[in-house]
């Protein structure tokens, strides 16, 4: 006799099936994310060299961080980096996207052109820009400056190069968000005599607020993970002027063979990101901000 299964049982089966489909992915994540992350936390409390065994030393690594000039220097540069990327590329991305919404012809072409640097490997981008900025044969020779060799300019120069590859991505994302805003709002505003600037601040920006907030959040997180452009262009130099937490971590882990200490830096970096994410969630869920 064929027995019809109840609705509840079918729903439960679907849920189980869903989890089973997720199982391989969860397994991969446990192996490549959870276990290394837990290992990092564990090793941050040890004197591990990165090779062989480790001895538990409590909070010594974290106490050392507070006195470590290289760590504090890297942290300060990360803060500067974050501020730059929260302002310059976000503004360029917003402006670029808003400008593109105003044109019909060649819009696709511009979107592609803006996006291309983002899909080129960072090592390639950085190597090309190293040649372009060369003080003897590139822009540096024309302007009589050495953007990557001058400690006062180096961090801004690396940020400029990274931004060159980054802002086009923001244009495309903001443009997609702006396309979701009803054209009737702009038509009504125009009839009321609002100009493009007023329309941007009164319609566009509120209309893309969730996207804007999300990209701001991700910018902060990604800024604390920045590594590749600095490593290729300056290796943290000259004289530590472009050192970020990631380059300090890399040096401590692989040049100084202080794996435990480098793990502590990694944990601090993760904590900074976690604080940002928690802040975002609090604003969304507790304060009910529409972001």
**Which residues lie near another protein (CB under 8 A)?**
16-17, 20-21, 23-24, 27-28, 31, 49-53, 130, 134-136, 140, 146, 148-151, 234-240, 251, 254-258
Question: Which residue lies nearer to another protein by CB, 207 or 237?
Answer: 237
38: how many CB neighbours lie within 10 A of its CB? 11
Report the nearest approach of another protein to the CB of residue 58 (Å): 19
CB of 238 to another protein, least distance (A): 4
CB-nearer residue toward another protein: 93 or 252: 252
Q: Which of 289, 258, 287, 279 is nearest to 65 (CA)?
A: 258
Respond yes or no on whether the N-terminal peptide bond of residue 25 is cis (omega within 30° of 0).
Answer: no
Tell me the β-bridge partners of 46. Answer: 56
Question: Which contiguous run of DSSP H or E holds residue 244?
Answer: none
CB nearer to another protein: give 48 or 85. Answer: 48
CB closer to another protein, 154 vs 215: 154
Q: How far is the CB of 38 from another protein (least distance, A)?
A: 16
What DSSP designation does 133 have? T
Q: Which residues contact 95 (CB under 8 A, 6 or more apart)?
A: none
Q: List, in sequence order, every beta strand (DSSP E) within the chain.
A: none
Residue whose CB is less far from another protein, 33 or 113 = 33
Q: Which residues pair with 56 in a beta bridge?
A: 46
CB of 20 to another protein, least distance (A): 4
Q: How far is the CB of 202 from another protein (least distance, A)?
A: 47
């Amino acid at each position: 006799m064929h027995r019809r299964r109840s609705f509840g049982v079918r729903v439960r089966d679907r849920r189980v099936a869903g989890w089973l489909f997720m199982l391989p992915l969860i397994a991969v994540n446990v192996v490549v994310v959870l276990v290394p992350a837990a290992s990092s936390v564990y090793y941050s409390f040890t004197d591990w060299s990165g090779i062989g065994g480790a001895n538990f030393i409590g909070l010594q690594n974290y106490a050392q961080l507070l006195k470590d000039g290289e760590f504090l220097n890297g942290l300060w540069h990360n803060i500067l980096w974050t501020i730059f990327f929260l302002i310059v590329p976000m503004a360029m991305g917003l402006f670029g996207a808003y400008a593109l919404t105003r044109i019909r012809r060649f819009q696709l072409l511009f979107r592609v052109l803006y996006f291309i640097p983002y899909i080129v490997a960072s090592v390639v981008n950085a190597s090309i820009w190293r040649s372009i900025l060369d003080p003897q044969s590139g822009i540096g020779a024309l302007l009589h400056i050495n953007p990557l060799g001058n400690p006062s300019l180096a961090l801004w120069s690396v940020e400029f190069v990274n931004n060159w590859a980054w802002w086009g991505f923001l244009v495309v994302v903001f443009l997609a968000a702006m396309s979701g805003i009803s054209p009737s709002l702009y038509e009504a505003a125009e009839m009321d005599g609002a100009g493009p600037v007023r329309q941007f601040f009164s319609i566009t920006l509120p209309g893309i607020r969730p996207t804007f907030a999300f990209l701001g959040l991700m910018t902060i997180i990604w800024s604390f993970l920045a590594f590749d452009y600095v490593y290729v262009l300056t290796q943290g130099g000259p004289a530590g002027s472009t050192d970020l937490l990631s380059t300090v971590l890399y040096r401590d882990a692989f040049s100084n063979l202080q794996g435990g200490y480098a793990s502590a830096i990694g944990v601090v970096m993760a904590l900074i990101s976690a604080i940002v994410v928690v802040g975002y969630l609090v604003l969304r869920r507790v304060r009910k901000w529409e972001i």
